[in-house]
Amino acid sequence: MLTIASVVSLAVGVYDDLLGSHKNDEVKVGWVEGAAISLAVIVVCFTNAINDYQKEKQFQKLNAKKEDRTVKTLRDGNEVEIGVQEINVGDILLIEPGDIIPVDGVYLSGHNMTCDESSATGESDAIKKGLATDGRDPFILSGAKVLEGVGTMVVVAVGPRSFYGKIMMAMRQGQASETPLQRKLDVLAEQIAKYGMSAAILLLMTLTIKYLVNCALAPEFPPYSIMFSHFVSIIIESITVVVVAVPEGLPMAVTISLAYATTKMLKDGNLVRQLAACETMGGATVVCTDKTGTLTQNLMTVVAGVVAEVELKTRPEAQAFYNSLPKDVQDILLESIAINSTAFEGPDDQGHIEFIGSKSECALLGFGKVCGLDYRSTRADNKPVRVYPFSSEKKTMTTIIPVIGETDQFRVHAKGASEIILRSCTKYMDKDGKCADIDQTVRNEILRRISTFANKALRTFALAYKIIDSAELNSCSDDEAPLSDLIWIGVMGIQDPLRPGVHQAVVDCHRAGVIVRMITGDNIETARAIAREAGILTKGGQAITGPQWRKMTPEQQHAILPRLQVMARSSPLDKQIMVERLQERHEVVAMTGDGTNDSPALKLADVGFSMGIAGTEVAKEASDIILMDDDFKSIVKALRWGRAVNDSVRKFLQFQLTVNITAVLLTFISSVFSADGQSALTAVQLLWVNMIMDTLAALALATEGPTDMVLDRPPQQRHSALITFEMWRMILGQAFFQVVINLLLLNHGLEIFHLPVTKHGVAVLRTMVFNSFVFLQVFNQINCRRIQPNEFNVFANIHNDTGFLLVQVFIVASQYLIITYGGIAFSTVPLNGVQWVGTLFIGMLSLPVGLAIRMLPDLSACFGLESANSPAQQHLPEVSTARMRIEASVKDVQRAVKFFGAIRNAQQTSQARKVDDLLSNNFLGEDPCLSPTTRASTLPSGLTTAAPTVPVSTSSSWTKVKAAVNNSNNNSNNKD
């Protein structure tokens, strides 16, 4: 609309200059306004386009990073990791559970491989893969998810020629969906646009009627060309009001803020896959985190163990420990470590040789290497006939190999969670290397060892084996490993130290009102020890196991949830139930996961975090954010950035609504009440203001990084109002001040600044009004850097906000050029030093006015608005950690009072027993003629006859009583 109006204005101006009323003027300037408006529209459009291009470029980089992952393949006979872009046709890929196949291939070998190809074929049933000669499907499509089993495949198609690649090429034109905050802002912008349109229509009607009335009352009716030119000016002014009133910069501010945040988050170790997750994380109220690799360093080493009743106490003793074992135990131990594992040795990203795979398996292989194990030759000599890969549900891994030198015997190697393996064992290897039955004493001793390791925060892995024949091998199912009647080899204690800074990160979460819960597969003692060390398990918090959780009813689960901080021996189903129960309590849940079976919980959570290092491809696909370093501190960084995004959008919203209201009111009032119907700001000036408040303000206010203060308040409610009472108070207060100061300057500026009442003096005044208006917005941007009610220092950390400072410098420099050299296009004249200082001073008044507005009382209840500190805005935990500590301390005091009360009662009872013994028939004899009163009167004077307060026993020794009475009588006689 404004472009069309500018073209019409340009045409009318050219007509006036050539054929109309200005054809005899020496300088032709009629075309300037239309040309200036057109140029301003072009500049605004190009600025937005360049900004969108930069944003899209950043997102393309993020998407490229998102698709960058590694796979395991065979190169020169060795197992190596390569990027998916390096896969060639003919490569042999190694497949494990949780992988998402990046290329098309044909099955070569493997064990019990099952794939989910629903994303490609639409079939929901899992498909077992195998050789065509066995009647199974040998073709493995790209995009398929490996559910279970291991195997190898040969690559036959890559890139755009693969099945998945063809689909991705067809989806290249797809558009990204808007985030919830963008949709909310779109609704708000539409509502504001309606009010702006109404104001523009009202302005158009008012100015038109006013001009027609003035024309009718004039002595001579003006020419139609002048009237037409004036009507065009009125239309342009009205359209400009619409342009200024419509906050088209709101969605752009979200886009800029998200683009900036996601780029910075990648440097902090967070790869954002879903933009909505970034802003959702700002309102997270609960973080459910794994232990291994997230809270701990995932640098596992075997530091303790018990094998064949021989104990390993420290890591340096590993070689001596191994040498002290019987030869048969040595052989079976190293064979179990080498065979029952998928880890291997290879170069890392820096070219260093290290073990690659599960960190627990790498720790065991590292221990075996110290003991002289050559795992490659052991694997080459023992080809497995059956493999049951590790799963988070079964918590075991089993491999079956032929026994060398025996024709009909096979050895079953099992490892996994200590308690689960121990339940399947009926025998154990003693210190002589012989197999003995496990009785209850031995079982209790093993459990004691496991508990000791767990209390030292060690992760325990048990090793066991047994011998089976071919008949039993053939009777084994493909799904269930033969885990009965195993022979216990031993248990290894693996140390995984806590990551540096994790404790402080947990403290920061608690400070921010976010509850941290640890959900791990380790046993309850290890989980408690790590959770206490990390600060997750606090005084008064509760820890349970997954089986206990599953046995509870939903009502019982809801009852324990406010105080539940640790869940051990959990399964993926436990995570899913946990998310469901928390969301039923209106919590915003962030969940971490690394396994394939964690994907339902990651999908269900409000924000799903997958592990970039230890996570499977299925888990990454289901997540919203990938932790590139698997570090819990990165979750806290994501929380900070999420809150920073929400704050940035609110800052920009507060600033833009202030400018909108001020510009519309100032334009309307000045146009209606001026004698010639001229606005305080011209159309070109308003377009410059529109650029300031849209593109430039979005760049300034939407790119400030998070500060420590964002963690000093509770999270926002999920459906809280976008504009709080404090924001409305600042918006309306600043708008009122700016309208009043500009109208005051417009009407009394000639007297205030001692300007002559001439055409030049009026031009200087209007230039000063324009300059003051711009400086008011510059300082109001500083004022909008802080929007929380308790944040009074608007200059805090401004020296680190480089983007904000650069934008302000650009605005001031551009304003100087416009005032000094804008001339005809911007309807300005150069100002002298005093006038610059005066307008700058007027603009600076925005800061003290903002401080005064911040100090006004909270009257949100009177206006039905949400205050920033109200329960409608803040989500407070039902039971805070501080309350749990207080309740636990109160219970400790109550227990102490009961304890000392019991001691006091015991002392009173002991004294009462002595008296009761003296009153017994043993002391006075069995004389039925004596009444109880007579018996009492015969007592020595030194004893009391008070009855005991509680029932007591009368079985005291007669000798002690007689001695006590004799002593009492002797004392009485001595006194006589």
In angstroms, the CA 679 to CA 899 distance is 84
**Residues sharing a CB contact under 8 Å with residue 585, sequence separation 6 or more, in sequence order:** 558, 561, 878
The one-character DSSP state at 134 is: G
Q: Which of 290, 594, 630, 631 is catalytic?
A: 290
For residue 664, the SS3 value is helix
- How big, in percent rounded to 5, are the helix, strand and coil portions of the chain? 55, 15, 30
In angstroms, the CA 963 to CA 278 distance is 85
Give bridge partners of residue 146 from the DSSP assignment: 115
Report the alpha-carbon angle 759-764-767, nearest 5. Answer: 125
Q: How do 145-157 and 92-95 pair as beta strands?
A: antiparallel
3-state secondary structure 513-532: CCEEEEECCCCHHHHHHHHH
Give bridge partners of residue 593 from the DSSP assignment: 610
Q: Closest Cα partner for 281 from 535, 637, 31, 639?
A: 639
In angstroms, the CA 488 to CA 422 distance is 7
For residue 935, the SS3 value is helix
Tell me if residue 290 is catalytic. yes
Amino acid letter, residue 684: V
**Residues sharing a CB contact under 8 Å with residue 499, sequence separation 6 or more, in sequence order:** 295, 296, 297, 631, 632, 633
* 795 HSE (CA, 13 A, CB side): 4
Can you say how many angstroms the Cα of residue 467 is from the centroid of all Cα atoms in its chain? 48
In angstroms, the CA 733 to CA 849 distance is 8
Which class for 961: exposed (0-12), middle (13-18), buried (19 or more C-beta within 10 A)? middle
In angstroms, the CA 726 to CA 857 distance is 10
E strands, 693-772, in order: none
Give bridge partners of residue 153 from the DSSP assignment: 93, 107
Please count the other Cβ atoms lying within 10 Å of the Cβ belonging to residue 764.
22
Q: Which residues are catalytic?
A: 290
